[in-house]
């Protein structure tokens, strides 16, 4: 694609964009009476206008039916997770029985580690990327301790080569090979939150399995962003949150993938709760846990209707747009931002890989001087990226609601900042 740094070009791209009508399904935050250029969808996705009706429906059923809403509500609460499964499975490229929506992300990560990290004397190491999201670091650290291990010994961190910012797939695979005797599990992000690098999940999964290790991915920055093929790639598990690219509100619910090959294994160790028990006999309230088949067998508690109602509304939008279409537009939209930023090479470095296959929506930028000043300047001019200590500005144009014209405007603002510096 040949990009041009011209307003008319950006407008033409928006005109041709078949996903353009989706922007009107979201509330866009305002700045001085105008739409803000919102680039933080990787952190908290914008509110779908349909979220309110979704919540109101459940409030209404609760008001009118009380406990009977579990069975007589429009969307009976007893089966609520079922209403999200198929759409969520399409977003991550999984079979419906491999997916369940429940809890929050970090809690689900721990639940999955209980089932898929079973260290032995020989095979006990966890491999993850350096500078993983802190919650994941704390989770892996405390998982190691939970099994009586020293995290410094049990955790292998994948580090970029000297002078590079992102990991090379060949180096990840070599590190797996190097630790083939002692590696119990590879648990890493699908997209790293800081650099925006998307990892080659297919190759990593194949390699880890070839040496006898399990694989899990934290897809917080990948779900709703990349065109994932979880079933085909075959990791043992994956977890993700719903409030970043999936636009399901602050602290929203989370998704879990458990590959089909484990789905019907009742012997897999897990921390169980009543909602994971056989649905048909759940209310007989008997002793003896019998897990349901599939990812649903990991559920603990009855569904959190309100966050799940928002997630349901949001997934309907994804279903309508189609994750493949979104990912195609995202390549162009973020590709355009890459192109615009290239004019400012003397002032900033983009550390996210340029190749579309190695990234998603987000670009991470290191500004050579006065990064924080630039961030403040953009913010006061109606452009909202985010700032990650010590020196990273992240910008994530979102194919559902950002436009090519907005990306063009980022270039205009950068130009005026650097000219007047
Ligand atoms: C956002 C994010 C989290 C946050 O998890 P919560 O439990 O939902 O607060 C964890 N891990 C990664 C990789 C994230 O990007």
CB atoms closer than 10 angstroms to residue 56: 11
- Partners of 348 in beta bridges: 367
Q: Which atom of ligand 1 is nearest to the CA of 106?
A: 7
For the cut 90, the answer to whether the pLDDT of residue 44 exceeds it is: yes
Q: Which atom of ligand 1 is nearest to the CA of 108?
A: 7
Q: What share of the chain is helix, strand, coil (3-state, %, to 5)?
A: 45, 15, 40
> Do 7-42+323-419 and 55-320 fold alike per CATH?
no
CB atoms closer than 10 angstroms to residue 46: 19
Residues 6+ apart with CB under 8 A from 400: 19, 22, 23, 25, 26, 41, 247, 317, 321, 326
C-alpha 170 – ligand 1 centre gap (Å): 27
Q: Which atom of ligand 1 is nearest to the CA of 193?
A: 15
Residues 6+ apart with CB under 8 A from 345: none
Q: Residue 404 and residue 11: Cα distance in Å, rounded?
A: 7
Percent of the chain with pLDDT over 90: 95
For the cut 90, the answer to whether the pLDDT of residue 241 exceeds it is: yes
Q: Residue 386 and residue 35: Cα distance in Å, rounded?
A: 17
C-alpha 97 – ligand 1 centre gap (Å): 24
- Give me the half-sphere count of Cα atoms (radius 13 Å) on the Cβ side of residue 350: 22
What 3-state class would DSSP assign to 186? strand
CB contact at 8 A, 176 and 213: yes
Class of domain 55-320: alpha beta
Q: Residue 28 and residue 46: Cα distance in Å, rounded?
A: 7
Q: Which atom of ligand 1 is nearest to the CA of 241?
A: 8
For the cut 90, the answer to whether the pLDDT of residue 285 exceeds it is: no
Domain boundaries, the chain: 7-42+323-419, 55-320
Structure tokens at 384: 């909202």
Q: Residue 218 and residue 233: Cα distance in Å, rounded?
A: 14
pLDDT tens sequence across 373-394: 999 999 999 999 999 888 899 9
How much is the pTM? Answer: 0.97
Q: Which residue has the tokens 């925006």?
A: 196
CB contact at 8 A, 157 and 129: yes
Residues 6+ apart with CB under 8 A from 352: 166, 195, 196, 197, 359, 362, 363, 364
Q: What is the mean pLDDT of residues 286-294?
A: 92
C-alpha 65 – ligand 1 centre gap (Å): 35
Residue nearest to atom 1 of ligand 1 (CA): 220
Lining residues, ligand 1, CB within 6 Å: 104-106, 133, 135-136, 189, 193, 218, 220-221, 241
User: Which numeric CATH code is attached to 7-42+323-419?
Assistant: 3.90.1150.10
Compute the mean pLDDT over every residue in the chain, rounded to the nearest whole number: 96
What 3-state class would DSSP assign to 38? strand
Structure tokens at 354: 């340029």
C-alpha 241 – ligand 1 centre gap (Å): 7
C-alpha 249 – ligand 1 centre gap (Å): 13
> What pLDDT is attached to residue 76?
97
> What pLDDT is attached to residue 208?
98
């Amino acid at each position: 694609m040949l990009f041009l740094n011209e307003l008319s070009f950006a407008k033409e791209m928006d005109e041709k964009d078949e996903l353009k009508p989706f922007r009107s399904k979201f509330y866009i935050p305002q700045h001085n009476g105008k739409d803000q250029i919102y680039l933080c969808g990787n952190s908290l996705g914008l509110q779908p206008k349909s979220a309110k009706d979704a919540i109101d429906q459940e409030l209404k059923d609760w008001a009118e039916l009380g406990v009977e809403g579990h069975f007589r509500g429009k969307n009976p609460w007893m089966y609520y997770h079922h209403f999200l499964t198929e759409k969520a499975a399409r977003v991550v490229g999984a079979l419906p029985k491999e997916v369940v929506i429940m809890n929050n992300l970090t809690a689900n990560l721990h639940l999955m580690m209980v089932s898929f990290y079973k260290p032995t004397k020989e095979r006990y190491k966890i491999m993850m990327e350096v500078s993983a999201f802190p919650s994941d670091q704390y989770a892996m650290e405390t998982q190691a301790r939970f099994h009586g291990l020293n995290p410094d010994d049990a955790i292998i961190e994948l580090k970029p080569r000297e002078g590079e910012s992102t990991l090379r797939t060949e180096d990840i695979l070599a590190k797996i090979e190097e630790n083939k005797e002692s590696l119990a599990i590879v648990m890493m992000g699908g997209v790293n939150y800081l650099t925006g690098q998307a990892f080659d999940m297919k190759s990593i999964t194949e390699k880890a399995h070839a040496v006898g290790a399990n694989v899990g991915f934290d897809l917080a920055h990948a779900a709703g962003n990349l065109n994932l093929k979880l079933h085909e790639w075959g990791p043992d598990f994956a977890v993700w949150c719903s409030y970043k690219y999936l636009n399901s509100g602050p602290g929203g619910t989370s998704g879990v993938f458990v590959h089909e090959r484990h789905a019907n294994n009742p012997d897999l160790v897990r921390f169980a709760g009543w909602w994971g028990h056989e649905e048909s006999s759940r209310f007989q309230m008997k002793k003896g846990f019998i897990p349901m088949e599939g990812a649903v067998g990991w559920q603990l508690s009855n569904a959190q209707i309100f966050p799940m109602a928002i997630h349901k509304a949001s997934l309907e939008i994804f279903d309508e747009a189609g994750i493949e279409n979104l990912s195609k537009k995202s390549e162009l939209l973020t590709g355009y931002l890459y192109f615009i930023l290239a004019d400012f090479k003397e002032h900033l470095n983009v550390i996210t890989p340029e190749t579309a296959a190695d990234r998603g929506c987000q670009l991470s930028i290191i500004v050579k001087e006065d990064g924080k000043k630039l961030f403040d300047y953009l913010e006061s001019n109606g452009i909202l990226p985010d700032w990650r200590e010590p020196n990273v500005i992240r910008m994530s144009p979102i194919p559902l609601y950002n436009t090519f014209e907005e990306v063009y405007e980022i270039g205009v603002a950068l130009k005026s900042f650097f000219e007047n510096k």
